[in-house]
Amino acid sequence: MHGTTILAVRRDGHRAAIGSDGQVTVGGNMIVKSTARKIRRLYGGRVIIGFAGAVADAFVLSDKFESHLEQSGGQLTRAAVETAKEWRADRTLRRLEAEIIATDGKSILLISGGGEVLEPDDGVLSIGSGSGFALAAARALLRHTELAPVDIVRAALELAAEICVYTNASIVVEEMGDL
């Protein structure tokens, strides 16, 4: 996925944050928007998602995911697995080009069209073209500071914006959990 950076950090097992930059790039060489919002709250605000990829595809998938959240009574993992199964099995959905990171504050999950539902071991997950930069910065901050997840996400995305041409400094961060 090119043209965005989404980062999620969980600390202490019950606090998490997801953030994104605001840049939308078309064709790999043209910035068409610098203040896009790639973070959404679902299920009455109890789940936060961030998405990378084609915007229309991401909205279709977030609607599917929210539907599965409703059906599962808000069980994040069950909804993620059901979304991934439907995404992988449906011929139309299979063509969608997007990825989603979701958190309920207790877990962070990556949901992708390859059928993956992954939870990171270290509580840090990132997608998009600037994901490697943001991931490295967040892991260092998580290991070597006592910063809250929201502060780690913001700082790591700011660092990624300094390095990655597909990531800008128009950052939005949402947090979930015991604050």
Domains along the sequence of the chain with CATH: 5-122+145-177 (3.60.20.10)
Residue 136 has a pLDDT of: 98
DSSP state of 122: S
* pLDDT for the residue 82: 94
Task: Judge residue 9's burial from the number of C-beta atoms within 10 Å of its C-beta, 0-12 exposed, 13-18 middle, 19 or more buried.
Answer: buried
Give the active site residues: 4
The reported pLDDT for the residue numbered 2 is 54
**Residue-level pLDDT, tens digit, the chain, 179 residues:** 456 899 999 998 779 999 999 998 887 788 888 999 999 999 999 999 999 887 878 888 889 999 999 999 999 999 999 998 888 877 777 777 788 999 999 999 999 877 889 999 999 999 998 999 999 999 999 999 999 999 999 999 999 999 998 899 999 999 997 64
pLDDT of residue 93: 73
What's phi and psi for 130, nearest 5 deg?
-95, 15
The confidence score (pLDDT) of residue 178 equals 62
pLDDT value, residue 1: 47
| CA-based nearest residue to 57, from 27, 104, 25, 100 | 100
pTM of the model: 0.93
| Distance from C-alpha of 19 to C-alpha of 171, rounded to nearest angstrom | 7
